[in-house]
Amino acid sequence: MQFGGLEPLQLHMQGSDWSIQLQMVSSQSDGSRLFQKIPVHSQLLCDWPNGINANPTCICSGQDLTGIPNESCPCRSTGDIRAGTTCPVTENCNATLKPSDRGCFCTSSQKPDGCTCTPTYSQAGCICDLLSTTYLPTTCLATKPCAEGTFTAPLPTGCSPTDCSSQNQTFECNCKPGFDPVGCNCPSDVQQLVGIRTEACPCNGDNDPRIGITCAVTRECKQNDQSGKSGVYNLTTCLATKPC
């Protein structure tokens, strides 16, 4: 079936909303035909310009653009219900605009949970705009402590781990004595390994302060050896047991 140079391909209906994919068919000067697939939504008014190769220009007239792809209806500079999801946030929260309405920036006077973080206001409860070009998502997410997920994929994605708070913690955190679930991040300073189980942080060579406690002794005392660590076996005490 063909009408007005258009062929319907797929029709989807949900309540009073509908969407249809059309195929524009136009004849070329060489006798061939040009096919172009075009999505049309019930909330779009389309002006079909003249010309064989012209694409339709869609003017979004509806207030609720939920679910309409950006390709069909570009993001609005203000008032777009998709702000914070498929469109970037552009407006500040205020007395009448809440995060439950659409994405809006936190301000000095408006900091409800769910507002969008900014470089100035990035308090607990705010949300990073992953489409922002003014506050890089990686920078924003780094201010968020990891709160769930796993050791290899903590959430929110890109979060910063904090000190472990439980021996049974299941998402990324920094190992601490008494709070060292297997998989936690071991300290880079070996002196901070004291009190951390070897199951969480394996023994770390000759300089591990847990040698002689929970790590096996791996070296012998030698004259003028300055690498001994107090709390393992004091070097002076050790040497005093050796005959000249």
Using left for φ > 0, alpha for ψ between -120 and 50, and beta otherwise, residue 195 falls in left
What is the share, in percent, of the chain residues with pLDDT greater than 70?
66
pLDDT of residue 188: 93
Query: 243 to each of 167, 238, 239, 240, how far by Cα in Å?
Result: 46, 11, 8, 8
Q: Is there a contact between 76 and 87 (Cβ–Cβ < 8 Å)? A: yes
pLDDT of residue 122: 86
Specify the higher pLDDT residue, 1 or 193. 193
SS3 state at 169: coil
Average pLDDT over the chain, rounded to an integer? 78
**Average pLDDT, stretch 65-89?**
87
Instruction: pLDDT band for 66, please (50, 70, 90 cuts).
Output: confident
**Average pLDDT, stretch 63-91?**
87
Is pLDDT at 103 greater than 90 in this prediction? yes
Instruction: pLDDT band for 27, please (50, 70, 90 cuts).
Output: low
pLDDT of residue 203: 93
**Average pLDDT, stretch 109-128?**
91
pLDDT digits (tens, 9 = 90+) for 124-171: 889 999 999 889 999 999 889 999 999 999 988 888 999 999 999 999
pLDDT digits (tens, 9 = 90+) for 170-223: 999 999 999 999 999 999 999 999 999 999 999 988 889 999 899 988 776 665
Short-list 46, 60, 44, CA closest to 6: 46
Instruction: pLDDT band for 12, please (50, 70, 90 cuts).
Output: low
Specify the higher pLDDT residue, 123 or 116. 116
pLDDT of residue 20: 56
Helices (H), the chain: 137-142, 235-240
Q: Is there a contact between 169 and 150 (Cβ–Cβ < 8 Å)? A: no
pLDDT of residue 187: 95
* Alpha carbon distance 83, 76 (integer Å): 9
Is pLDDT at 109 greater than 90 in this prediction? yes
Short-list 233, 202, 241, 231, CA closest to 217: 233
Specify the higher pLDDT residue, 76 or 58. 76
Residue found under tokens 């993001």: 75
Specify the higher pLDDT residue, 27 or 78. 78
Token pair, residue 134, equals 């003014």
